[in-house]
Chains A and B, each alone.
Chain A
Amino acid sequence: MPTITIFKQDLEGLLAGPGEARQPITMEQLEESLMLVKGELKGQNPDTGELRIELQDSNRPDLWCCEGIARQIRVKRQGALVRYDFLTATSTSVKRLNVAHGLEKVRPYVAACTATGLRVTQEGLAQLIQTQEKIAEMFGRKRRTVSIGLYRLGAIEFPVTYDLVKPDDATFTPLGMDTDMTLGEMLLVHPKGLEFGGILAGQDRLPFLRDAKGQALSFPPIINSREVGEVRVGDDALFVEVTGTDLSMVVLTLNIFAANLADRGAVIEPIEVMYPYKTDLGEAVMTPLDLGKSRTLPVRTIEQALGQALGAHEVAKALAGYGYEVMSMGEEVTVTLPLYRQDLMHAMDVVEDVAISRGYGDFLPVMPSQFTVGGLSRIEEVSDRVRALMVGMGFQEIISNILGSPKDLRDAMRLEGTEWGELVEVDNVMSQNFSALRQWMLPSLLRVEAASSRAFYPHRMFEAGEVARPDPTQPLGSRTVAVLGGVIAHADAHFSEVHSCLDTLFYYVGQAYRLEPIQHPSFLAGRVGSIVSGGKQVGVIGELHPEVLERWQISIPAVAFEIDLTELAERS
């Protein structure tokens, strides 16, 4: 979900169209209009007209720029999209871009066009660069799938070649440097080479874009040449290319740039890309190219999904007002997406666009009327019951993070190397403090005890919640178990005190249990028992080992128990 910066006056200019007087828009109208683009105003500077807008839809890269937002609002105001003429224009002298052999295995696709007759303004340039960055980053998966290059057209002689060369065989001065370098050196030295070089890892030949004179344009998807690959304010003719690994995404990206530049008054001329290998669109591909396939769907489907009878006419009107081309309507509508969109996967995508175009406020909420019975899961019922009992016995409930550190969960409990110390650990650790799921509850409670020596005593605390226990017999390698842990800490804390609580708990839960002596490193030997119920070990109770208390820096005796609620719930 990108957040972009645009300028209000630029937006107002684009709302009017090239050569027209700006169409002022109030902030109120703007916020209302942002619903059309799933945008949220995140900030504004009334002095400069700067607006920060977050766009939610990750499938609509066309909206991640001032031009796209303006276009969606304009289409709504005009009731339909004015078709871009560069798609139908036929020129006698089409410029060409030749693709070299071997690129099918490296970065197979390219699309390009020229834009003339515009004047690049400060704001326009900022938008071009921002659009280039946002699309390559978020839609182009950090340039891996799609990357974009913009050039000054004047210096370029056609045909341009999308070539494949050895790292040492091409040399130019990249943007941001002032000396010539080979492509190989750029990967090793240039900041963009270091950042994006991974995309070309393992390739012994690299993509290279040059013109008919052999002049370097760029090293896609890494960096442009400083000579021709730096667009400046005042430029009036541009060359735009998109390379990548997914042909339809490459074409869509070029279409978006073509539409954006056309909206700013540029004349777009297509370029014919000549492949030496087959592509889904053939070996000679003229770009920009409308990839929109028409889609036919019953009006009834749309009405059912929306819960509202609209009729074909209203549906068609809503879709046209959202930029669709409506080919026919009746029982069914046949529609095509505009060239800057490819996000129509399912009829439901059309349904949403109808709703957005009409406005969500147009739909009257209706309560679902079908009867259902509510209820809690068995484990939650058992958990609520024992929680109430613990509260009745004077325990304060605690809630803790489930994610903790092996140091607290295992080491501080003296469980290193024991089966009680086995943990579900995180692979991509961000902080050691949050690197393992708790395998039992007592460390969560001791965490509170350790931090609360100044809270008046006695301390009686419990937490009912989930833990994760490694278990190789499970498909997920671990089990999520609901447990109850209780800790009592005060100067005279004693086994029999916590034993009474456990005994009371089992009485009211209606289950029999007995304690069996065990060895457990977290507790004092001879003062620890395994809680056995229904022939199974369902918990542990005892006086915490002084060394455990010492490791937690707790300087008061503590006694504790923990029982497995999942086990009790499954049984009763």
Chain B
Amino acid sequence: MKHLVQTFVKGITRENPLMILMIGLCATLAVSTQFQGAVFMGLAVIFVLTMSNAIISIFRRFIPNEVRIPMFIVVIASFVTIVDLVMKAFVPSVYAFLGIWIPLIVVNCIILGRAEAFAYHNGLPAAIADGLGMGVGYTIVIVVFAFVRELFGSGAVKFFGATLLALPSWYAPPSVVLLFPGAFILFGFFLAGWRALVSRPGGGGGCS
């Protein structure tokens, strides 16, 4: 049990996919202009990551080493298709905002990376704990980052039309925070802050 908790926590702190391993960055920078979209992106990643980790862990003894990558991709793509269709049906506004980023979860390095590095070599409970931990670690970062960007970029954070937090009306939001350069620059400072306060990288990581 203690071991599972450790596996879960390391996904949030010591091996946080975004801040330490630096994988899966594309979607993070792109969808963090909107708090609501980021929340759903995080949920989608948690779902796909946990389910694909679980399935790959269950079938790991039957997956031949030579064709493992295509098989991982098929498993991941099936779960992404589920997310794609469910979001299109139930939250069309979020689906329209996320757009190409839903199909692109398939090639999100976090998911394939965890399948390859963890789920393929570990039992079901550990694989689920790892998937949840990595997913939650991803979600925390993307949601906080999107909250900051939407608050300072548009002056108020909204969730399905309800205003969660608004800055006083004298604040004139600089649009650069919501534009592409702003995302890169803010993320750079975010990274520096996280590494100073929460955890530092111990080397390794990285993909494609």
Are A and B physically bound partners? no
B residues at A contact (CB < 8 Å): none
